[in-house]
Amino acid sequence: MTQSDNNLDNNEAADTKAERHKARQQKLKEGVDAKIAAAQEEKGILLVLTGNGKGKSTSGFGAVTRCVGHGQKAAVVQFIKGGWECGERNLLEKVGVEFYVMGTGFTWETQDREKDVAAAESAWLDAEKLLKDESINMVLLDELTYMVTYKYIELARVVEALKNRPKMQHVIITGRACHREIIELADTVSEVQPIKHAFNDGIKAQLGFDY
Ligand code: ATP
Ligand code: MG
């Protein structure tokens, strides 16, 4: 076999590989196109971002930014206010996003159940108003899951408000250990898994990155 025979063989092999790749991609595209054509319904999505890894609230705020970027209206209720200033709030309030922040600090720091329940109730009343307001395209209920877990807010009230909200309104719920009933009601649920977290190596929460 000459060198040029060898080159011919190599070219043929490359051609077959390229054709097979093209055929596979074509099949994939047909599948995706069929799914896109079938997905015709439009409605407000209920999204739950849960799990123990980092990235739930930042993802929720990312969606709020996306919504506002299209000229739509978004509002945020923060059910657990950290001791730190919230970078997203500083920015998003300037572009018209309404923020409602629960009046206590981290609940595990207050150790005053009655005060926490009253603060949760007040923040939930704000949330209920937003969940009836057709002019709001997206509501972010940040760290709501804990209010249900601690029984600060009754699950049935949350489920009812979510079910009866305006048809086109998107709602995003973040927080660990989301209640099963809320997960069942949701359209999209993502769980963020912790593979590693810098905090466990003694690195403190950093401004502009963690808050
Ligand atoms: P982020 O706001 O960064 O998106 P998150 O909403 O997913 O985080 P939360 O459970 O609300 O996470 O915790 C908020 C704070 O705790 C953040 O400063 C975050 O970096 C930190 N955190 C999140 N996950 C972990 C973890 N697995 N271990 C330690 N700290 C964490
Ligand atoms: Mg969070």
Best CA proximity match to 130, nearest among 60, 81, 75: 75
Same domain, 3 and 95: no
Domain count, the chain: 2
In a domain, 207, yes or no: no
Per-residue pLDDT tens over the stretch 9-51: 777 777 888 999 899 989 898 888 888 888 888 899 999 999 9
**209 in any annotated domain:** no
- Please give all residues whose CB falls under 5 A of ion ligand 2, grouped by chain where several chains appear: 56-57
- Which of 47, 54, 141, 209 has most ligand 1 atoms within 8 Å of CB, for mutation? 54
- Ligand 1 lined by 82 (C-beta under 6 Å): no
One DSSP character per residue, 131-153 reads: TT-TT-SEEEEETHHHHHHTTSS
Amino acid 10: pLDDT: 75
Query: Of 182 and 27, which is predicted with more confidence?
Result: 182
This prediction's pTM: 0.86
State the ligand closest to the CA atom of 142.
2
Looking at the fold, whether 121 and 168 belong to one and the same domain comes out as yes
Predicted local distance difference test score (pLDDT) of residue 11: 77
pLDDT in tens, 116-154: 899 999 999 999 999 999 999 999 999 999 999 999 999
Q: How far apart are CA 65 and CA 74, in angstroms?
A: 9
Q: Domain containing 73 — which CATH number?
A: 3.40.50.300
Q: In terms of domains, do 195 and 131 share one? A: yes
Domain span holding position 5: 1-40
Ligand 2 centroid to 145 CA: how many Å? 10
Query: Residue 202 — left, alpha, or beta (φ > 0 → left; ψ -120 to 50 → alpha)?
Result: left
Do 18 and 63 have their domain in common?
A: no
189 and 93 in a common domain: yes
208 assigned to some structural domain: no
The total number of residues written for the chain in this structure = 211
> Looking at the domain assignment, is residue 185 inside a domain?
yes
Q: Is residue 210 part of a domain?
A: no
From 1-15, 25-39, 95-109, the region with the lowest mean pLDDT? 1-15
Query: Ligand 1 in contact with 56 (CB < 6 A)?
Result: yes
